[in-house]
């Protein structure tokens, strides 16, 4: 584990700079509390500077005149740059957000793929011609929206940064991106890759700082045309409210309390595996985590026992350690919040069948570790069945009928993702049709494809990222109508 403490600068207008105030923030390894890097701590002045650079780059810079083919080529170069530095980026991701190295490596590879996906799409942004009355030739062109503010969370720092920057750039926008104040390192490394790739100055600005005083300024900024946010539902509400000043376009990817539904006819082993992976991948710090496990009462006891047998395989430890399957939570504050939910589960009468506490291993005492936790016999009204915990806490809820499973699954203010496990494809598809959410999996959990739209119903957000839908979110639509008549309309 390298402990070189790098002092980072952020990217504004093509230059690597400190915060105008000179303030900095220490980034700590959630696995042991050690300082791993120092980054600028921005405030309004820095956001203003970044927005004005992005504005100038959009309004007067070369970016809008850069052909789609050339924009695509630059994005391919960014993908290459990510791959060339993949090992370092993965390590930085572990050191700031805590996830196991294998998961970080997967994220970095996927981030490169995302840039490549949108690199290819830059040249496939099409207009349309419409059948209107014969005296007009009418067509639609798609154009970039302008300056995009982009706010990224701490659970998938590099991946969420890529999901935001790649489509925005492919579409010809300019960007001011703010990573989470807890995990800004890979975004700052990406800034170097972006400059090396030859993206013109001001097109991408990466500003590090907190939500209040920085993220909120970006969301409210009158010179920003669109804000894209991934984070908690309450923060998303604030972002949306802040965006009303100039009625900027808003896309939100927020929380979830996702049902993973196991029917008695499911492939038992695969479902046990999928239930654990759905709940505990990335320490459960995943918006789409299958944190509510709905199990057919006919197999419920056997299913919980089978999960418990596998819990010892989830080795807790520092993400850079060999064989570790679950890392620490992102911060001490977040660990305490998750522990609060464990206490709530116990006091509401759910049955704690494993975990619920910090590991006894003294070597882990300085990290924000929590053992993988399962509550059985949870009822849909309990807090641990209703609120997003965002940690390694699984709530098991038994059900008796397909109708009841659907009713419990949809009984939430969220609508992000859901899983269905059944060997009866008719049943699986019937249930999926009834689920009020944007992402569904049958006989699997969590695979995410750059080609497929990501986002939620209800209070899980608005708009979609990834795929063709993801680029639409960064495009305006303009209609052009050409009069084919020679004579004036002679209305007056």
Q: Which is nearer to ligand TXE, 154 or 263 (CB)?
A: 154
Note whether 253 binds ligand TXE by CB under 6 A. yes
Q: How far is the CB of 277 from ligand TXE (least distance, A)?
A: 17
- Which alpha helices (DSSP H) does 392-458 contain, by range? 402-410, 425-434
Query: CB 174: neighbour CB atoms within 10 A?
Result: 29
Residue 38 and residue 451: Cα distance in Å, rounded? Answer: 36
Residue 52 and residue 277: Cα distance in Å, rounded? Answer: 44
| Binding residue for ligand TXE, selected from 66, 155, 208, 258, defined by CB under 6 A | 155
Q: How far is CA 91 from CA 87, 123, 241, 314, in A?
A: 6, 34, 36, 20
What strands lie across the sheet with 393-399, from one edge to the other?
351-354, 373-376, 393-399, 292-296, 259-262, 417-421, 439-442
Which positions from 156 to 185 touch ligand TXE by CB under 6 A, shown as an x/- string? ----------------------x-xx----
Query: CB 96: neighbour CB atoms within 10 A?
Result: 26
Q: How far is the CB of 153 from ligand TXE (least distance, A)?
A: 3
| Among the residue ranges 32-40, 235-243, 320-328, 469-477, the one whose residues contact ligand TXE (CB under 6 A) | 235-243
DSSP state of 465: B
Residue 480 and residue 470: Cα distance in Å, rounded? Answer: 24
253 carries an active-site annotation: yes
Q: Which is nearer to ligand TXE, 66 or 219 (CB)?
A: 219
Note whether 287 binds ligand TXE by CB under 6 A. yes
Q: Which is nearer to ligand TXE, 128 or 336 (CB)?
A: 336
287 carries an active-site annotation: yes
Q: Which is nearer to ligand TXE, 12 or 217 (CB)?
A: 217
**Residue ranges in 208-227 that form contacts with ligand TXE under rule CB under 6 A:** 210-212, 215-216, 219
Enumerate residues 6+ apart whose C-beta is below 8 A from 245.
Answer: 220, 222
Angle between helices 300-310 and 268-280 (to 10 degrees): 60
Note whether 254 binds ligand TXE by CB under 6 A. yes
Q: Which is nearer to ligand TXE, 235 or 258 (CB)?
A: 235
Note whether 29 binds ligand TXE by CB under 6 A. no
Contact 272, 310 (CB under 8 A): yes
- Name the catalytic one among 105, 181, 253, 388: 253
Q: Which is nearer to ligand TXE, 61 or 372 (CB)?
A: 372
Residue 490 and residue 492: Cα distance in Å, rounded? Answer: 6
Contact 276, 307 (CB under 8 A): yes
Note whether 72 binds ligand TXE by CB under 6 A. no
- Name the catalytic one among 214, 287, 354, 437: 287
Q: Which is nearer to ligand TXE, 42 or 450 (CB)?
A: 42
Query: What Rg, from alpha-carbon coordinates, does the chain have?
Result: 24
- Which alpha helices (DSSP H) does 122-156 contain, by range? none
Q: How far is the CB of 400 from ligand TXE (least distance, A)?
A: 30
Note whether 52 binds ligand TXE by CB under 6 A. no
Contact 352, 304 (CB under 8 A): no
Note whether 258 binds ligand TXE by CB under 6 A. no
Note whether 47 binds ligand TXE by CB under 6 A. no
| Binding residue for ligand TXE, selected from 239, 293, 307, 408, defined by CB under 6 A | 239
Which positions from 365 to 394 touch ligand TXE by CB under 6 A, shown as an x/- string? -----------------------x-x----
Q: How far is the CB of 255 from ligand TXE (least distance, A)?
A: 5
HSE (side-chain half, CA atoms, 13 Å) at 471: 24
Q: Which is nearer to ligand TXE, 271 or 289 (CB)?
A: 289
Contact 338, 370 (CB under 8 A): yes
Residue 35 and residue 28: Cα distance in Å, rounded? Answer: 4
Note whether 232 binds ligand TXE by CB under 6 A. yes
Q: Which is nearer to ligand TXE, 251 or 422 (CB)?
A: 251
Note whether 450 binds ligand TXE by CB under 6 A. no
| Binding residue for ligand TXE, selected from 49, 89, 122, 152, defined by CB under 6 A | 152
What phi and psi, each to the nearest 5 degrees, are found at residue 487? -80, 155
| Among the residue ranges 231-239, 303-311, 368-376, 377-385, the one whose residues contact ligand TXE (CB under 6 A) | 231-239
What phi and psi, each to the nearest 5 degrees, are found at residue 14? 80, 0
Enumerate residues 6+ apart whose C-beta is below 8 A from 352.
Answer: 342, 345, 346, 373, 374, 375
| Among the residue ranges 1-9, 147-155, 345-353, 465-473, the one whose residues contact ligand TXE (CB under 6 A) | 147-155
Note whether 238 binds ligand TXE by CB under 6 A. yes
Structure tokens at 153: 């969370």
Q: How many residues bind ligand TXE (CB under 6 A)?
A: 26
| Binding residue for ligand TXE, selected from 36, 82, 151, 354, defined by CB under 6 A | 151
Q: Which residue has the tokens 């403490």?
A: 5
| Among the residue ranges 44-52, 204-212, 339-347, 357-365, the one whose residues contact ligand TXE (CB under 6 A) | 204-212
String of DSSP letters for 242-284: HTTTTT-EEEEE-----EEEE-TTS-HHHHHHHHHHHHHGGGG
Contact 255, 460 (CB under 8 A): yes
Q: Which is nearer to ligand TXE, 59 or 413 (CB)?
A: 413
Catalytic residues: 253, 287
Task: Return residues touching ligand TXE (CB under 6 A).
Answer: 151-155, 178, 180-181, 210-212, 215-216, 219, 230-232, 235, 238-239, 253-255, 287, 388, 390
């Amino acid at each position: 584990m390298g402990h070189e403490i790098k002092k980072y600068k952020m990217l504004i207008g093509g230059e690597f700079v400190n915060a105008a105030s000179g303030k900095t923030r220490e980034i700590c390894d959630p696995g042991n509390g050690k300082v791993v890097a120092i980054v600028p701590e921005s405030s309004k002045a820095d956001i203003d500077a970044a927005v004005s650079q992005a504005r100038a780059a959009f309004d007067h810079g070369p970016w809008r005149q850069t052909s789609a083919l050339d924009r695509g080529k630059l994005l391919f170069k960014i993908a290459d740059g990510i791959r060339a530095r993949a090992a370092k980026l993965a390590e930085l991701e572990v050191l700031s957000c805590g996830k196991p190295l294998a998961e970080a490596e997967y994220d970095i590879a996927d981030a490169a793929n995302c840039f490549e996906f949108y690199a290819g799409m830059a040249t496939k942004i099409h207009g349309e011609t419409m059948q209107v009355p014969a005296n007009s030739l009418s067509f639609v062109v798609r154009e970039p929206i302008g300056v995009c503010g982009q706010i990224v969370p701490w659970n998938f720092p590099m991946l969420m940064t890529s999901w935001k920057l790649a489509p925005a750039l492919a579409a010809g926008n300019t960007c001011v991106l703010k990573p989470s104040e807890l995990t800004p390192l890979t975004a700052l490394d990406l800034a170097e890759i972006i400059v090396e790739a030859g993206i013109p100055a001001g097109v991408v600005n990466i500003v590090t700082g907190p939500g209040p005083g920085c993220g909120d300024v970006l969301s409210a900024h009158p010179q920003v045309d669109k804000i894209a946010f991934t984070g908690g539902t309450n923060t998303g509400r604030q972002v949306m409210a802040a965006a009303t000043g100039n009625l900027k376009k808003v896309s939100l990817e927020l929380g979830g309390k996702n049902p993973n539904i196991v029917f008695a006819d499911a492939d038992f082993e695969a479902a046990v595996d999928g239930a654990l992976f759905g709940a505990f991948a990335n320490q459960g710090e995943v918006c789409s985590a299958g944190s509510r496990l709905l199990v057919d009462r006919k197999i419920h006891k056997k299913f919980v026992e089978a999960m418990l047998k596998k819990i010892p395989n989830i080795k807790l430890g520092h993400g850079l350690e060999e064989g570790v399957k679950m890392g620490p939570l992102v911060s001490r504050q977040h660990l305490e919040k998750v522990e609060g939910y464990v206490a709530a589960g116990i006091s509401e009468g759910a049955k704690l069948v494993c975990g619920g506490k910090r590991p006894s291993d003294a070597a882990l005492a300085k990290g924000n570790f929590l053992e993988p936790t399962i509550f059985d016999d949870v009822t849909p009204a309990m807090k641990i069945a209703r609120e997003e915990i965002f940690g390694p806490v699984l709530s098991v809820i038994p059900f008796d009928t397909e109708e009841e499973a659907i009713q419990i699954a949809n009984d939430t203010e969220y609508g992000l993702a859901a899983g269905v496990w059944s060997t009866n494809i008719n049943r699986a598809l019937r249930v999926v049709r009834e689920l009020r959410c944007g992402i569904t999996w049958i006989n699997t959990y969590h695979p995410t494809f750059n080609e497929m739209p990501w986002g939620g119903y209800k209070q899980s957000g608005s708009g979609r990222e990834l795929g063709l839908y993801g680029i639409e979110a960064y495009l305006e639509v303009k209609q052009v109508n050409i009069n084919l008549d020679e004579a004036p309309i002679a209305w007056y």
